[in-house]
Structure 1
Amino acid sequence: MKRNYYLLTLLITLSSLAGWSQDKRPNVILILVDDLGFSDIEPYGASDIHTPNLTELASQGTRFQEFYNNSICAPTRASLLTGQYAHKAGLGYFNVNLGLPAYQGFLNKESPTLAEVLKKAGYSTIISGKWHVGDDYDQWPAQRGFERSFNFVGGASNFYEIGDSTQATVPLYKNNKPFYLPKDRYLTDEITDQAIGFLKEQHHDKKPFFLYLAFNAPHWPLQAPEEETQKYQETYTIGWDSLRTKRYENAIKQGVFPAKQKISAKDTLTQEWNKLTYDEKQYWKRRQQVFAGMIDRVDQSIGKIRQTLKELKVDDNTIIIFLSDNGAQGGDRARIYTSRNTGTVGSAGSYDVQNSNWSQTGNSPLRSYKDNPYEGGIGAPFIVWYPKEVKANTIKRGTGHLIDIAPTLYDYAQAKYPNTNYGTATNTLPGVSLRKLLNTDLAQVERNQALFWERAGNRAVRFGKWKLVSTYRNGNKVELYDIDTDRGENHNVASQHPEVVTQLEELYKKWAKENDVVNYDRIKGQSSFR
């Protein structure tokens, strides 16, 4: 009897192993970059920045004209990782605890992460890069479903270590243990190589994998290897005004911005390039050279990841998704952290930030910047590559949102979204799978509901062609735009369509109540990030 029992157990084990070895579900690589503007890569209009790997992914895959994020780092990551609106996941404001469930500053247990769901579905789960959705140890990636993790916890990091192993200025962790970034080692390269190492490790598991590759580039501080910066020595003599127009024209040629639509009106707070002195031009050119170098290095990293896929013979069964967490960083020169600067912009120890002068070009042809509900704040590049199923060299209108990524990946992975997580009832997924859109001739998501935004009192609603916007700084005065004809948001038509304004306001109130959104004045005084 015992012998039969052991024999049966062995047969079940061998059958199980055979099943995993034949698992044909796709691998997934989700690439998120930080503070990248809409037209900061070649497939979206940036002929000035060299991104051949992203260009190849785009030519062999599908791009969206309209794909939306949450306008700023932590809330975007919360939605991306859980498929929930940021408030529902616990990060309605930022990674700071403001004393309310929707603003607790870390991912709640009611919102399972991609890693938690895919791990239960039989996937190896990996993160390499930025986390920013929970600062305390029990909120880190390894505690939220990631079996292999290399990351920094907060929102920004130097790209070079200028301290020592006892006082690290780049606080990294590998599988929950402190990791010291070697001197002269560039963080983007380390994030890439750690991901590659994990991919090679997990290959022996004979399971499909999910890799969340979260680069912090090109987020400030502006730091890049000098060889990358020097590639762009003469590129930016054109200045931001002319380049902004050129990118707008390129975006139309690429098909990612509607033909015949106008570029957004120029931000009057930005300086006139032609009125700068020679020395000022040299200073500003250098800053954009570094920014371009940071993006260039990310693109090279994507090439290394793809080469690893080929070496492991899994490239033909891997989905790659690329997007940005928000638009390019706005603000004026006063934001530069001069007290932290110990070197020329781009070098280790420098601490310069991007601001509106070049960022208006980065977000061209869209309006405004990061942390704003206009298209330049919430609109991002979105590329999906999966030759087995996703149409090649295709442009979709899209109108997708972060909340759609989780149901899409669960669709491909045949993963069941759980009813409970850590003994708690889970939040329902509000998004839709993009799979049908990606493998058919459909032009945009079939969605019966509006999309919503709220962050620090800034609000937006998108329903059909209409977009309602109000900003806290402007006293929440309501604006209405017809995105079908005016994605540049140049013409506020609220007074001409009061019935549409009323409809969208009512939809927003209902959504806000369902997601525990509170009036910003209630939490403003407690916030440490504004």
Structure 2
Amino acid sequence: MRSHLNTALLILILFCSACSEPVVEPKKPNIILIYADDLGIGLLSHEGQKIIQTPNIDKLAQDGIRFQRAYSNMLCAPARASLITGLHDSHANGFQITNGTAYMNATKSNLPEIENKINDKLDSIPEDQIFLGEVAQRMGYKTAQVGKLEWGFSATDKQMKRHGWDYYLGYLDHVRAHGFYPPFLFENGEIVEFEGNTLVKAGKSGEPETTENFEERWNMEGKEVYSQTIFMDSILNFIDSNKANPFFLYFPTQLPHGPVSIPAVHPDFVNDERLTQIEKEYASMVKLLDDNVGQILAKLKENNLEDNTIVIFTADNGHEIYYSEAGRILKPYTNMQTGERFDDLERKYYSDLAGDVFDGNGGRAGMKRSNLEGGINVPLIIRWPGKIKKGRVSNQLIANYDILPTLADITGYTQKHNIDGLSFYKELVEDSSFEGHESVVYSSYTGPTLISKDGWKLRTHLNKDAFELYFLPDDFREENDLSKEFPEKFEELKSKLLELCDGDYNNGLYK
């Protein structure tokens, strides 16, 4: 009797096993990181921009989370290096930065020689060093980078592959990326030529605005294919080709970095009497970036990937002026009321004093290259349907070197990595145990700065042997130096800054 029962039980178990649904592992989320170039936080309409409307980027913010206290480096190369390595830029052994003109006259025949010269100047990469693309690649993601590649100023195929990119297309050199009509780009180690583009400097035009520079800019001889069009075609094709696989797409765009170059003025600005001609063209570059974000979102929706794709939008550094013009706004930056040059200390840059019609830094002091808020406080927006509640605004202190460990948490990468960044994954999913940084540190041409979790900021101007202390929640314009009023806080932050700079305030400067 017992043997019959055992046989019946076994049959029942086998029957139930055959009828049960197989366990299906949820598909890992795709990740798209859009990295705007020189996009000041004040250029976005949800941050108060009055002239340029950015509905697609605004929609990302409405559907996800935006960080009000997100920071990045003051300049392109260290910003991209921090993003890709998860390290800050104030260490004694800083990032190696190569010259940006290495590929100016590259051809298919001399390319190996050029790359070897660059690689010979670079130290070997430690085996245990981890990179942004590599994190996703190791977790089974198809990885791609399209646009203004790596941290420059000239990179190589060897670096691209070591950093974890399965596919790449774009400029390997940042000087050529100042033009928007490249005669050639680099795709997976090969030169790809664009026959209609014949200018060595890729159509880079001059500054400030003059009749001669205007005519040069709109002389379209040798300027047939706009680089951003090339990039968008590649990006949309990549999404189509990888819709069945988890992918990580990094899009470091050229826009809206100058000199100003746009195929046509956007209809929004053609008849805008508030703007000069070159300001209309610059506004069109920002508008095109927003349109490109819209194209990417539309492609995700078309492929039913919208709900399983994380979209991250941020920028490398603060605002920069590419539309200077006599009587309007000047470079070097000048107070248009007094005629005095801004010096980043006694005479700080503010948009209203400089004549910036766009107020690109959103009322903050300073610009790109400065450790003032206008140089390092950047937009950071993340949309993740079903995981991030819509319309959230976070005041957590976030550094751009936190994106790598956050991506590691998202993709499931658990190998230990010796970096400065901390994952803010818990903040995305509203886990109350998120602690984050006690402080973050960044370098600049004048010296490093430290921002603390509770809102204090210590900035240096070592060229003038100066230190300033601000409490940002009450003074985001950095107008009231509190170093004498709060001497204990001042000394506390000086000690912390010295520690983070490996014991030398002069570390990490990019001169």
Question: What TM-score comes out, normalization by structure 2 length?
Answer: 0.74
Q: 1:396 to 1:334 in 2, by over 3 A?
A: closer
> Which residue of structure 2 aligns with residue 288 of structure 1?
279
User: What per-residue deviation string (whole Å, max 9, x for no partner) do you get for residues 263-283 of structure 1?
Assistant: xxxxxxxxxxxxxxxxxxxxx
Q: 1:144 to 1:236 in 2, by over 3 A?
A: farther
Among 421, 432, 435, the alignment partner of 1:446 is 435
Larger relative helix fraction = 1
User: What per-residue deviation string (whole Å, max 9, x for no partner) do you get for residues 442-485 of structure 1?
Assistant: 6x962353211123342111112210011234x13010000121
Deviation, 1:406, is: 1.2
Deviation, 1:84, is: 1.3
> Which residue of structure 2 aligns with residue 303 of structure 1?
294
Residue type at the aligned position of 1:362 = G
SS of residue in 2 equivalent to 1:235: coil
Deviation, 1:107, is: 9.4
Structure 2, unpaired ranges of 5+ = 1-21, 101-120, 197-223, 334-350
Alignment of 1:93-242 (within 5 A): 94-96=97-99, 108-109=125-126, 111-134=129-152, 135-156=154-175, 157-161=177-181, 169-181=182-194, 183=196, 184-203=224-243, 206-228=244-266, 230-235=267-272, 237=274
RMSD of equivalent CA atoms: 3.1
* Contact residue 107 and residue 139 of structure 1 kept, 8 A: no
Residue type at the aligned position of 1:46 = Q
Between stretches 42-51 and 113-122, larger displacement belongs to: 42-51
Q: 1:319 to 1:293 in 2, by over 3 A?
A: same
- 2:454 matched to 1:416? no
* Contact residue 318 and residue 374 of structure 2 kept, 8 A: yes
Alignment of 1:483-494 (within 5 A): 483-494=472-483
* Contact residue 468 and residue 481 of structure 1 kept, 8 A: yes
Q: Hey, what's the Cα distance between the residues in 2 that align with 1:306 and 1:432?
A: 28
Q: Hey, what's the Cα distance between the residues in 2 that align with 1:429 and 1:488?
A: 31
> Aligned residues, how many?
415
SS of residue in 1 equivalent to 2:457: strand
Q: 1:107 to 1:395 in 2, by over 3 A?
A: farther
Q: Hey, what's the Cα distance between the residues in 2 that align with 1:225 and 1:21?
A: 48
> Which residue of structure 2 aligns with residue 364 of structure 1?
362
Among 433, 457, 471, the alignment partner of 2:423 is 433
User: What per-residue deviation string (whole Å, max 9, x for no partner) do you get for residues 380-422 of structure 1?
Assistant: 11111012101101111132111211111111111123x5xxx
Q: Hey, what's the Cα distance between the residues in 2 that align with 1:316 and 1:72?
A: 34
SS of residue in 2 equivalent to 1:54: helix
Alignment of 1:383-422 (within 5 A): 383-417=381-415, 419=416
Larger radius of gyration: 2
Q: 1:497 to 1:518 in 2, by over 3 A?
A: closer
Deviation, 1:490, is: 1.0
Q: Hey, what's the Cα distance between the residues in 1 that align with 2:195 and 2:376?
A: 35
Q: 1:81 to 1:364 in 2, by over 3 A?
A: same
User: What per-residue deviation string (whole Å, max 9, x for no partner) do you get for residues 357-385 of structure 1?
Assistant: 42871002211100111110000111110
* Contact residue 132 and residue 155 of structure 1 kept, 8 A: no
* Contact residue 92 and residue 502 of structure 2 kept, 8 A: no
Q: Hey, what's the Cα distance between the residues in 2 that align with 1:404 and 1:72?
A: 17
> Which residue of structure 1 aligns with residue 506 of structure 2?
519
Moved over 6 A (4+): 104-107
Q: 1:448 to 1:67 in 2, by over 3 A?
A: closer
User: What per-residue deviation string (whole Å, max 9, x for no partner) do you get for residues 425-449 of structure 1?
Assistant: x5x132222222122286x962353
Deviation, 1:226, is: 1.4
Deviation, 1:299, is: 1.2
